Structure 1
Amino acid sequence: MTERSERNRATADGLANADELALIALPAAPALLSTEDGIVVRATEQAARLAGEPSPAALVGVRLADLVVRDGSASLLRARGGHIPVRPLSWPHADDERLRVTVLVDVSDLAGRGTGGTAADDERHWLIEAQRIAKVGSWVYYPETGEIYRSPVLAEFLAGFGADAATMIAAFHPEDRDRARRFFTDVLTAPEDELLEVELRDLSGKRIYLCTGRAEYNRSGRVERVQGTVQDITEHRALERLLRDERRKLQDAQRIARLGTWEWDPRTNVMHLSSMLHEIIGKPTSAPTTWDTYLERVHPDDRNWVVQAWRPLVENHEPVEVEHRYVRLDGALRILRLHGAAIRDADGHDVLVGTAQDVTEQRAVVTRMERSSKRFSDLVNMTPVGIGLFDRAERLVDANDALCELLGYQLEQLRGKSIDDITHPDERGAGLPAPIERSGIRRRVPQRVLVRSDGEPVYCELHTSSSVQDDGTQFWLVVFQDITERRRAAEALRYQATHDDLTGLPNRAAVKDLLGHLLGRVDSHRVAVLFCDIDNFKRVNDSLGHDAGDELLVALARRLEGGLPDGCTAARLSGDEFVIICQDIQAVGGVDSLATRVSGLLRTAVPVHGQLIRVSAAIGAAVPNGTGAGGEDLLRFADAAMFEAKRRGTGKVSLASPALMAAADRQLHLEGQLREALHNDGLALHYQPVVNAEGVVVSAEALVRWPHPDRGMLTPDAFLPIAEQGDLLRELDRWVLRTALREAASWPVRGGRPVAVAVNLAGLVPGGPEFVDAVADIVAETGIEWDRVVLELVETALVDLPSRTRHEMGELVSRGVRFAVDDFGTGYSSLARLKDLPAQIIKVDRRFVAGVGGDASDFAVARAVVDMARAMGRLCVAEGVETATQFHVLCGLGVDAYQGWLFSRAVPAREFRDMLARDPLPIPGA
């Protein structure tokens, strides 16, 4: 063996010297390092002991085939004769594929004829431990017998699976089993010594194994055996993924930051640029870069000072930072910021390294911010809103011109003043809201009273924000918005919302608030309410006009303000209705004493328009009855008591008794039922015909009725006062107008003459809100012709109409609507005003019609009205015609149409349709 070993050693010497081979790591087990030709170039101490050699050097230069022979199984030839059963495990060395590592596993215990003893057991144990540490298992496959040997570590990897090829393949993930089968097939057909690899996952897919295999052929060219390893590389792959991710993140970060790296060797003047830096400067990666070629693209105006700025780095290796313009090959101008430093490479040479960042966009943003800051400063200086800058001690540091003008100071006078110094004495100590540590939090102070240099108060709304300057100093930014005028306007609006426009007294809203406050006190039983209604006030309006009535109301309001005792408040609800609220009725001597005093104030003579008008008032009083009645209830009881006093005569006073309160409650209940009837179409219309002299029906007046569930059919005189008190007249008029026009639209037409329909309005009147729109919408909704609509109004509603209201009525008249004056002759100075009434039909009141057959005065009035109506081109209709005598006399006077029981009472809609079918109507006595 010695002579052969010498020859082989000479062959191995050409591969590597002994010092280099000694540096190659081998497992701490019986291991051999051999060349491609199978010549052993290094052995471990464990391998020498297993072979019976005194030292590892005895095995160097020996062919591996001479040491390990196979005769049915592998055996290691020992130096002193004999052999020991082994299983060699081989794999290429990781650093040099020309070398192979072979580990000899002592399997004498498996063969039953080993000579290893305790030392061999130790070697086998350490070999297994080495595989376990390296996470490498080995296997050997013998195609002739189908036998597979698995090392203990591999058996641990494939725990629970058998030692044949099929079950080994089943130990891997289902998705990887086809690749495992191809791997075994490829290994069995691969050229000798060709190492094949495949990565497979375990059943759970969590572990990754690198499987290697290499076939060994015998002299006849058949595969004698296949050797391989299975290595757990899960952590390696995880580390590789982590490194890839980190590398990708670094590249992404550089791309996002537009940051590249460079390296410059001053000895060669060659610069190595990262791919990102090549992209930034727009230069292909294939083009070499030197400091000179880089400098050529630096902007000509920056080139000289860039060279000067770079000199400390080149000459003294001092770190530098340079920012300059760079002209790319495509002509684009970029701004680059370069950092450079000196380091030593592995050879001990100085190398300059650094980064280059494209800051073009950043510089553009900075420029825009500087311009924006300048514009902001200019805007602050010219804005009409006061702006001040305060330090942590809340002392003014700076202010714009508007704040100086607002407070009446020069800027130098304002500087150093605290927020308390410019605050009104009544509000000092409040400071600025929110702690300054909460930077960026904006707060609003709705009102703060400041004081001008002349002592005048200024009402401001403050908007504050705490912030930090560039040097870290915290400060307050405060915007002062002058709301003095807004506050005055708000106070005026608040006053208007709670006070009567005419008299300046508190209105209904203020009365409700005051009563709600007083009745919420412990001594609410001392509260009293007086409801006052001026006697015959309507006569003043009708005879002297509304201006005179307004003058009278103002005079009475002033008397109440000046004559009421302390603790009493006068208010005006509407029209000629006044309310007195007493906080403590006992303090003024009781209800009777207060009512007498108020009655005396309202019983007076007032000069109006050059005339002395004597007035008085009906007064109703109410006090809490202990039932928890609210302010609305107390007003309602006092109102009911006032109506009771008015029934007793002028200037009377009445106290709300329990019976009167109960009646008021019933009236309130009836009002609720009326509301429900309006909303649910629970009312009905009857129609009374209006005929001409031949008995032909020319129109019909719609009269509302209420089929009450408990009280039967109610006529308007039973529920119109309730509707008026409940503010339902307007809603009731809408319902009547809509229902009447809808039913009239379907009336039959005879002789080509459609019958008109008349609706008497009390709440929906000209001059009211949206009068024209309300009528137009209902006409459009019902589809009736405009010239079939007659709107009846009492004479007083048409007197002294403003020009706007007359224009509104003119719009409806231009479309075909006609207006009728109802109950004409009952007003004041009616004949004198007939020419001014914007109406096309005059209806003579029934009181004059009743006496035309025997009373000369009634006859004269009727004739005068008819003559004047005809002279002015108006139609004349007589109301309340009940006898044939009345009819014949009126016919002789020239009346155009007639309405009354002589022809028909008001009948339900169905009966009226039947009446139209019998048109003309018979005239009794004709």
Structure 2
Amino acid sequence: MTDRYDGTPASRARKAVDAAGAGDAGTIDEIAELPDAPAILSSADGTIVQVTEQAIRMAGVVDAADLLGARLAELVVRDGPVSRLRGAEDVAVRVLTWPHPNDDALRVTVLTDVRDLLPDNGSRVGVEVVDERARLIDAQRIAKVGSWSVYPETGQMYHSPVLKELFYASGTEDVFDGVNMVVAVRPDDQPKADDFGVRLRSAPVGKLVEVELHDHTDRVFLCTGRVERDAADRIERIEGTVQDVTEQRLLERQLRDERRKLHDAQRAARLGTWEWDATTGATQLSEMMREICGHLPGDPTTYDGYIEGVHPEDRTRVDQAWRGLARRFEPVEIEHRFIRRDGAVRTLRAHGAAIRDPDGRLVLVGTAQDVTEQRTALTRMERSSQRFTDLVAVTPVGIGLFDQDEHLVDANDALCDLLGYRLEQLRGMSARQMTHPDERDSGLRAASDESASSRSGRRKVPQRLLIRSDGEPVYCELHVALSVQDDGTRFWLVVFQDITERRRAAEALRYQATHDDLTGLPNRAAVKQLLGQLLGRADSAGVAVLFCDIDNFKRVNDSLGHDAGDELLVALARRLEGGLPEGCTAARLSGDEFLIICSDISAVGGLDSLATRVAGLLRTAVPVHGQLIRVSASIGAAVPSGGGSGGEDLLRFADAAMFEAKRRGAGKVSLASPALMASADRQLHLEGQLREALNNDGLTLHYQPVVASDGTVLTAEALVRWPHPDRGLLSPDAFLPVAEQGDLLRELDRWVLRTALREASTWPTPNGRQVGIAVNLAGLVPGGADFVDVVADTVAECGLDWNRVILELVETALVDLPSRTRQAMGELVARGVRFAVDDFGTGYSSLARLKDLPAQIIKVDRRFVAGVGGDPSDFAVAQAVVGMARAMGRLCVAEGVETATQFHVLSGVGVDAYQGWLFSRPMPSREFRALLETGPLPLLNDR
């Protein structure tokens, strides 16, 4: 098939028509209806597809074929403010273009002949129109205003050149599409642009619609528009302007910022401004001025109204000053009080002056500042200064003023009394003359430097030793400050605080902290300090430590009382002080333990010689309370092992050697051998393991029942066991001495008490009766300061009834109880707790003391119970104890009952309850719970 298009203008027209879907070239006149005017129909690519007869004639061609297929851009060419129609002769035309209403791919172009308006036609009107248009465009360019118009019916649009210039700078050439803004507005302004189009379409005729928009470069445009409507209320035309107001808005913002800054400055300074027309009396007040005077916004203000607000006592003076300004135009500065409408009295500092305004008239202007707070502060300062002066005069500490050469200028009475001089004698005296000759630093400058160091935390406030007029020394704490007087003269302000008594008290406290209260010998703290110094020397190998324990000292306390024991300890301390060789220091650690520290063992003849001499000093007869008491001591000695032993190690080794000596008998001496030191290390390791077990609940409790004669379980005694990871289950005999040496008995007691009460709270109640729990205490004793609190807190924590708790104490712990201990025990007894005397009969006390023991239960020691069946003495002791306990209303419990004979004998003398292997061995908590659930134990005759 051959191509139906041959490239001629007519052929191109047919091709464009076909592309537009209009049929073939033979029906060009039928494509669309055009206006009855010079009109051209073109395709999307600008090809002419239809023309009217008027357009053919205006183009000066013979028929339509000469135009069809040509390009519209070739036929109509832009030429300055108008267009030219190319043809037989160029014709000046005005071009209007809009989309075809039936086909968006076609556009309708109408040409209007404007040759009669052009200047080259000699038309005066045309010249004026062009000139006016040029002037209008220049004016728009100067004002940065572009105009636009839109014809909605035809789609015709007009954009002035300035409008295109404005939006070209914003990065877009298309400004409007119909009435919708399509400029590159900032995203947050797009809703405002859309709303502008909506408001334009619905606005009545002539109503101006405005919107302010920002483009993506933050330029600001003020867009306006209005509509024209026909008789049917259809929009014929929309026109408007777009003005670049970026600079105006910037200036407005700067002006607002400046006004805000001025307002903020006035508010911060409480400063207002005013103008006064003295002729009319009218005044103008700034916003801050109104606020200062208490005026509401909009209230009229006059000079008379201002004067009425001035305080009556200041009014005449103020009015005369301002009247003088109005007459003589001399600047005025005045301060006065002002009464606001709310009754508040403010102090104002006002300035006024006469100036000429731009019209040459004299105007009275000024400021007023609210200085109430400043005046109040100044008054407060003046009063404070007076109070300071009065305070210096009456203060009990010495205060002195010294000049720059450190000579006294003035002083208060307290300083005169402190140094024993009259003020006339002190004046002119230098700080050096007031300082004791033994004081190395005597200048104020050195004291000031030390004070500065003190403020930075490096040194304390300096102390100085001064000298009184009678030669007596006095210690003072100096607070030194270098200050400046009003005239600029520098001076020293020094406060002298007498700390003589404080130093004496501090020295006494230091002595008490490092010395034993009873004997006056150095205590454990002093021993640690001295050993640290000696072992830190290069020749520390010559140091030796002797640990001395008085034999059978406990018997002296128990038989003769603690006062007798104290008297014995003091006498032995004096013997050690007087009998030790030079270089040896005696100390008391605790109880009946003394320590001898030798700085150079070779200087005293060796360790054996020193040990023999110390043993001789402690082996003596001492008169105490009218009796001659013979004593001796077990002594353990230790020297550094060469392996870097510290002071604590030496004490530990000497202590272990002392226990070894005590095992060999009274009055023996033992040296800490390597084997003994290794054993002590093992004991220390065991102590660490025990401490860890206490912290991690690594111990366990076994319970041994205490039963009545019918087999009913009354109570159970909690007995601690240690499941050692290496040595198996350890009984208390294996680790209680370790706990005692490691000061862990108190912590161990707290653990046992807490654990026993917690487990007992879960025990079953056979026949509805609750079983009591007994805990033996060794470190947590009633004499402790927090004994009652510890017990009470534990009982409350475990939720146990008070009457189920029994606290067991050995007999010796209950002898010669001070009133505070008795009071503590009484508080717990009042709540329901019962106390039991454990191992009664072994404490070297007579049976007569039984009535003084604050206990409700007496436990007969197993040593007497063991022989009741065959030893008359044991039977007599048991019988006496039971009889006295019953007579005093105490419950009697027999410990260590292992045979039926023992049970029957004890039952015959009236024992209330029994504890021993005959009934049950100590058992773990789970087994004891099972025992309680079975009910009473079988009667002995049934076994």
TM-score relative to the length of structure 2: 0.72
> What letter matches 2:807 in structure 1?
L
> What letter matches 1:451 in structure 2?
L
TM-aligned CA deviation for residue 559 of structure 1 = 2.4
How far apart in 1 are the matches of 2:918 and 2:310?
116
Match of 2:529 in 1: 513
Match of 1:639 in 2: 655
How far apart in 2 are the matches of 1:915 and 1:184?
101
| Matching residue within 264, 267, 274 for 2:285 | 274
Closer/same/farther in 2, CA of residues 157 and 799 from structure 1, 3 Å limit: same
> What letter matches 1:514 in structure 2?
L
**Identity between Structure 1 and Structure 2 (%):** 69
Whether contact under 8 Å (1:793, 1:820) holds in the other structure is: yes
| Matching residue within 250, 260, 278 for 1:238 | 250
Instruction: Please tell me the root mean square deviation across aligned C-alpha atoms, in Å.
Output: 4.9
| Matching residue within 453, 472, 488 for 2:468 | 453
161-170 vs 454-463, which deviates more? 161-170
TM-aligned CA deviation for residue 322 of structure 1 = 2.0
How far apart in 2 are the matches of 1:551 and 1:486?
32
> What letter matches 2:161 in structure 1?
R
How far apart in 2 are the matches of 1:885 and 1:160?
120
Q: Which segments of 5 or more consecutive residues in structure 2 lack a partner in the other structure?
A: 1-113, 229-235
Instruction: Summarize the alignment of residues 328-727 of structure 1 with structure 2, pairs less than 5 Å apart.
Output: 334-346=346-358, 350-387=362-399, 400-410=412-422, 422-424=434-436, 425-429=439-443, 431-433=446-448, 445-451=460-466, 453-454=468-469, 455-462=471-478, 479-690=495-706, 698-727=714-743
Closer/same/farther in 2, CA of residues 305 and 417 from structure 1, 3 Å limit: farther
711-720 vs 645-654, which deviates more? 711-720
> What letter matches 2:353 in structure 1?
A
Match of 2:131 in 1: 88
Match of 1:97 in 2: none
Closer/same/farther in 2, CA of residues 362 and 712 from structure 1, 3 Å limit: closer
Q: Deviations over 1:512-545 (max 9, x none)?
A: 3333344344433333222111111111111111
Whether contact under 8 Å (2:170, 2:184) holds in the other structure is: no
> What letter matches 1:608 in structure 2?
V
Closer/same/farther in 2, CA of residues 198 and 714 from structure 1, 3 Å limit: closer
Whether contact under 8 Å (2:715, 2:772) holds in the other structure is: yes
| 1:356 partner SS | strand
710-719 vs 605-614, which deviates more? 710-719
Closer/same/farther in 2, CA of residues 406 and 188 from structure 1, 3 Å limit: same
> What letter matches 1:446 in structure 2?
V
> What letter matches 2:119 in structure 1?
S
Instruction: Summarize the alignment of residues 795-834 of structure 1 with structure 2, pairs less than 5 Å apart.
Output: 795-834=811-850
Whether contact under 8 Å (2:447, 2:478) holds in the other structure is: no
| 1:764 partner SS | coil
Whether 1:250 aligns to 2:294 is no
Whether 1:763 aligns to 2:774 is no
Whether 1:154 aligns to 2:165 is yes
| Matching residue within 320, 323, 326 for 2:332 | 320
| Matching residue within 203, 213, 218 for 1:206 | 218
TM-aligned CA deviation for residue 572 of structure 1 = 1.9
How far apart in 1 are the matches of 2:691 and 2:698?
9
Closer/same/farther in 2, CA of residues 802 and 328 from structure 1, 3 Å limit: closer
| 2:839 partner SS | strand
Q: Deviations over 1:239-285 (max 9, x none)?
A: 2322232233324433554444344566x465543344466556799
Q: Deviations over 1:443-502 (max 9, x none)?
A: 994342252534545545555666665555566655555544444444444433333222
> What letter matches 2:131 in structure 1?
P
How far apart in 1 are the matches of 2:201 and 2:854?
115
| 2:822 partner SS | helix
Whether contact under 8 Å (1:137, 1:154) holds in the other structure is: no
Closer/same/farther in 2, CA of residues 236 and 417 from structure 1, 3 Å limit: farther
Whether contact under 8 Å (2:618, 2:632) holds in the other structure is: yes
How far apart in 2 are the matches of 1:601 and 1:862?
43
TM-aligned CA deviation for residue 813 of structure 1 = 3.6
| Matching residue within 52, 56, 75 for 2:119 | 75
How far apart in 2 are the matches of 1:817 and 1:226?
104
TM-aligned CA deviation for residue 72 of structure 1 = 5.7
TM-aligned CA deviation for residue 382 of structure 1 = 4.2
| 1:88 partner SS | helix
> What letter matches 2:464 in structure 1?
V
TM-aligned CA deviation for residue 667 of structure 1 = 1.5
| 2:743 partner SS | coil
Whether 1:733 aligns to 2:744 is no
Whether contact under 8 Å (1:690, 1:699) holds in the other structure is: yes
| 1:431 partner SS | helix
How far apart in 1 are the matches of 2:905 and 2:341?
117
Q: Deviations over 1:284-339 (max 9, x none)?
A: 99898776776566555445444654576556544331223456688775544332
> What letter matches 1:428 in structure 2?
S
> What letter matches 2:365 in structure 1?
V
486-495 vs 243-252, which deviates more? 486-495
Instruction: Summarize the alignment of residues 891-906 of structure 1 with structure 2, pairs less than 5 Å apart.
Output: 893-901=909-917, 905-906=921-922
Q: Deviations over 1:408-447 (max 9, x none)?
A: 5555555555655555534424534469999x99999434
| 1:629 partner SS | coil
| 2:131 partner SS | strand
| Matching residue within 257, 261, 266 for 2:273 | 261
Whether contact under 8 Å (1:146, 1:164) holds in the other structure is: no
Closer/same/farther in 2, CA of residues 410 and 157 from structure 1, 3 Å limit: farther
| 2:614 partner SS | helix
Closer/same/farther in 2, CA of residues 436 and 186 from structure 1, 3 Å limit: farther
| 2:597 partner SS | strand
> What letter matches 1:340 in structure 2?
G
Whether contact under 8 Å (2:115, 2:121) holds in the other structure is: no
> What letter matches 1:496 in structure 2?
Q
How far apart in 2 are the matches of 1:286 and 1:682?
86
Closer/same/farther in 2, CA of residues 393 and 197 from structure 1, 3 Å limit: farther
How far apart in 1 are the matches of 2:327 and 2:564?
107
TM-aligned CA deviation for residue 609 of structure 1 = 1.2
TM-aligned CA deviation for residue 574 of structure 1 = 1.5
How far apart in 2 are the matches of 1:553 and 1:720?
27
TM-aligned CA deviation for residue 765 of structure 1 = 2.5
How far apart in 2 are the matches of 1:833 and 1:593?
46
763-772 vs 387-396, which deviates more? 387-396
How far apart in 1 are the matches of 2:751 and 2:613?
44
Instruction: Summarize the alignment of residues 172-191 of structure 1 with structure 2, pairs less than 5 Å apart.
Output: 173=185, 175=189, 177=193
How far apart in 2 are the matches of 1:649 and 1:856?
31
TM-aligned CA deviation for residue 643 of structure 1 = 0.8
Q: Deviations over 1:371-426 (max 9, x none)?
A: 45444544554444555556666665555555554455555555555655555534
| 2:468 partner SS | coil
Whether contact under 8 Å (2:564, 2:624) holds in the other structure is: yes
> What letter matches 2:605 in structure 1?
G
Q: Deviations over 1:773-804 (max 9, x none)?
A: 33344444455554444433332222211222
